[in-house]
Structure 1
């Protein structure tokens, strides 16, 4: 099998399992009633699931196309990374906007004491902010977007061992993406928490099926 497709069959299988789980759990009035911004709760929920899927499929396609043949750079030249990054950030903004919209559309559907929700929100907020600061300060935003797939100089940089990365393995995936749980906790939204669970689980599917094999290929290692 071409390395461009390594673990992508597993990616599809795990995604199908996650989608089946979400479909089984997305039941009841919390998912069918309410709305915000002219969209129903169901529409917002669909967006919060669809946008991450489109985002990760897009990233997997671009990373593998560039890493195994430099197909994007050969066709788009120096603009390849910047065009890729612009759409990447658009997808990321879509993730945040759809999650916020879903939480607003389905607020107060979680049977949980407000004090406990705020406590959990605070406990999440500190490590999320710490990890995001560490990404910007030590790891670099462009590197976080996948610049190493396009630029051999970035690929040659050593692993980051500062900030949150010094104490938490893979801090960006472990801590930063916990931010997607925060709208659901803040507004007491069951649908937003289910969407956050899907999003966080699926980002780990992306890591194991796309990013980890790519890192092993780039650095000549196999675990």
Structure 2
């Protein structure tokens, strides 16, 4: 089934990664103390892990339904991409804010020198912001969200080679996702850093299992 092509690897990653995290919790390795807005740190941890999973499964289903069956534009016409894009960015922004909330709930779970903290924040933020800037100016957020699955004309356009894309073909996943580590560093939250790492690795699972096969299909 085209909709689920290569998704066995996707599922395998989720089973293994979530299994490892559950084991670390059961063994008492991860610090789950604290709460925020009446929700325990454990609750925020689970929520912060669920949002990227929901986001990437949402993208997978929408992309494949549109790419192979035109299901979204057939039903919603010109509003199809707009509706999909709204969900995409709501979930993408939620990924970042749930990490912030988790970091606040589990703050000061490890010690770090203030200058090391500042240096890490700078090293993570600068390339991440440059990546977001490059996407906005040279690539476009619509195309980043997957416009090429909805508009055949995009397949005729050349690959972007300006901004951060001059140095790497995948600046968004390599560098923009570094920003997800910043809340964990700011509030010294071990769990927030773990979720940021999970989200960063998981986006590459999306790339190899979903995006790259789709790119090959779209751009021949």
* TM band (smaller chain): over 0.9
Instruction: Give the whole-Å Cα distance in 2 for the aligned partners of 1:138 and 1:22.
Output: 38
2:102 maps to 1:102: yes
Secondary structure of 1:32's counterpart equals: coil
Q: Is the contact made by 1:22 and 1:194 (CA closer than 8 Å) also made in structure 2?
A: no
Native 8 Å contact 2:31 2:109 kept in 1 = no
Match of 1:120 in 2: 120
Q: Which residue does the alignment assign to 2:156? A: 156
RMSD after superposition: 1.4
What residue is the counterpart of 2:219 in the other structure? 219
> How far apart are the structure 1 equivalents of 2:28 and 2:88?
33
Structure 2 vs 1, CA of residues 69 and 208 (structure 1 numbering), >3 Å: closer, same or farther? same
Q: Deviations over 1:7-49 (max 9, x none)?
A: 0111111121121222233464864211122221111111110
Partner of 2:2: 3
Any residues of structure 2 matched to 1:177-188 within 5 Å, and which?
177-188=177-188
Query: Runs of 5+ in structure 1 lacking a partner?
Result: none
Instruction: Check whether the contact 1:184–1:191 (CA below 8 A) recurs between aligned residues.
Output: yes
Q: CA shift at 1:168, angstroms? A: 2.2
2:32–2:106 contact (8 Å) kept in structure 1: no
- In the TM superposition, residue 112 of structure 1 has moved relative to its aligned partner by 2.4
Structure 2 residue 50 is the aligned partner of structure 1 residue 14: no
**Preserved contact between residue 131 and residue 176 of structure 1 (Cα < 8 Å):** yes
The answer as to whether partners of 1:3 and 1:68 remain within 8 angstroms in 2 is yes
- Partner of 1:101: helix, strand, or coil? helix
> What is the TM-score with the length of structure 1 in the denominator?
0.94
1:88 CA displacement? 1.0
Distance 2:130 2:81 in 1: 27
Query: Aligned runs of 1:141-152 on 2, under 5 Å?
Result: 141-152=141-152
Task: Output the CA distance in 2 between the equivalents of 1:178 and 1:169.
Answer: 16
- Structure 2: 5+ residue stretches without partners: none
The answer as to whether partners of 1:30 and 1:109 remain within 8 angstroms in 2 is: no
CA deviation map 1:119-150 (0-9, x unaligned): 11111111011111000000101000111100
